[in-house]
Amino acid sequence: MMQPMASVATARGRIGYIEAGSGDATPIVFLHGVGSDKGVWRPQLEHFGKTRRAVAFDYPGYGGSDLVEDATRDDFAASMVGAMTALGIGRAHVCGLSLGGVIAIAMHAAAPQRCASLIIADSFAVHPDGQSIYDRSVAASHMMTMRALAEARSGLLLGSAATDELRAEVIETMAAIDPAAYRIGAEAVWLADQRDRVAAVGVPTLILVGDEDAITPPALSAELQRLIPGSVLERIAGAGHLANAEAPQAFNSAIESFLAELG
């Protein structure tokens, strides 16, 4: 059963979260993208909450979390580990999409013992166009409202099978983001170069990508698969950048198969 949205106190401020489920199986933690918040993971919380504890967090400055000025991707990672600790989660499968994938990699680098596995969706080790995407994102966040930015960007985020309802949800979620937090998140994701970190990943890793992802194309996930020892890559047919929301059944099924051997 899905619990109400809440927040938990950490040494780095309050962190917003939603959770569902319980049980003896290893918990699963979900980390959202730069233009989203914890609510994007509802299809996963509802599904995985049937068999295990499932938790989705907000980064500092997003949703129900306190803003941390000048936070870095490593600060985000530390905040997520701190929130896990505050909720009594010692070790979890860590699933992150886009910026969430970047933060999942940073979490493993900082605290590998807290990561039972990594599930990296629609993300990368380094983005070849990261600087230009970051520059455009920051400029747009100063020149436009977040709603206008969301409306302009939604077409790039979603694949051909996305519904009008999902498109509207994506716009509403992004429109509510604090522009200052968005700029911090944009730096954390688009300027990341974690090639050394992914080469050192030592836990089972599943890489997922929408085959219509125009923002972090499948080639970047293929590069991740080459860099992370023993990792597995699966493409989600008909999905764009928000594969978990666009094709939740296929996304969840891929994770279920992956976790079946891990517990």
Alpha-helical (H) ranges within 111-178 are: 130-143, 146-157, 164-175
pLDDT at position 263 over 80: no
Contact by Cβ (8 Å): 65, 15 = yes
Q: What domains sit in the chain, N to C, each tagged with a CATH number?
A: 6-259 (3.40.50.1820)
pTM, full prediction: 0.96
pLDDT, tens digit, 9 for 90 and up, residues 45-88: 999 999 999 999 999 999 999 999 999 999 999 999 999 999 99
The pLDDT of 222-251, averaged and rounded, is 96
Say if CB 117 and CB 125 are below 8 A apart: no
Confidence at residue 52, expressed as pLDDT on a 0 to 100 scale? 96
Tell how strand 54-57 and strand 13-20 pair up.
antiparallel
